[in-house]
Amino acid sequence: MLAGLREGVDGDVFNVVDDDLPSSRHFLRLYKRNVRTFRSIYIPHFLSYVMCSLWERYSNWSEGQLEPVFNRKMWHAYWKKTYYSNHKLKTRVGWTPKVPTSEGFSRYFEACRASGHNA
């Protein structure tokens, strides 16, 4: 909405993200600590990429015996480390987050506990 009120930002694209976004590992740790615990294992990015590549190769070799759902293209879409900056939004439009990330997480985890539903 702010972008519509500022001169010179027509057609620009902005990333609306918090300043202190956690990694997925950190978020999972917080979720387990605040909502419920469960077993999970960490798979390094390199290993997950190799596993997707092997799955893709087997799918091609077996002529689709296994659907190619885990492939390098999907790996890049879902698991490649990607970073976004809100610097442009802050400087050009004057945007600031109204709720800090930590407060947003607290509210989210509380809602998960209250509803009995999991993420």
Average pLDDT (80-109) is: 90
Domain ranges in the chain? 13-115
Give per-residue pLDDT as tens, 39-48: 999 999 999 9
In this predicted structure, what is the pLDDT of residue 17? 87
Whole-Å CA distances, 108 to 30, 31, 86, 87, 115: 11, 10, 22, 25, 11
Residue 10 pLDDT exceeds 80: no
Contact present, 90 and 3 (Cβ < 8 Å): no
Q: How many CB atoms lie within 10 A of CB 55?
A: 19
pLDDT of residue 56: 96
pLDDT by residue (tens digit) across 54-78?
999 999 999 999 999 999 999 999 8
Contact 101, 20 (CB under 8 A): yes
Whole-number percent of the chain with pLDDT over 70: 94
CA atoms within 13 A on the CB side of 40: 13
Higher-pLDDT residue of 91 and 10 is 91
What's the whole-model pTM score?
Answer: 0.73
| Residue that the structure tokens 């109204």 belong to | 98
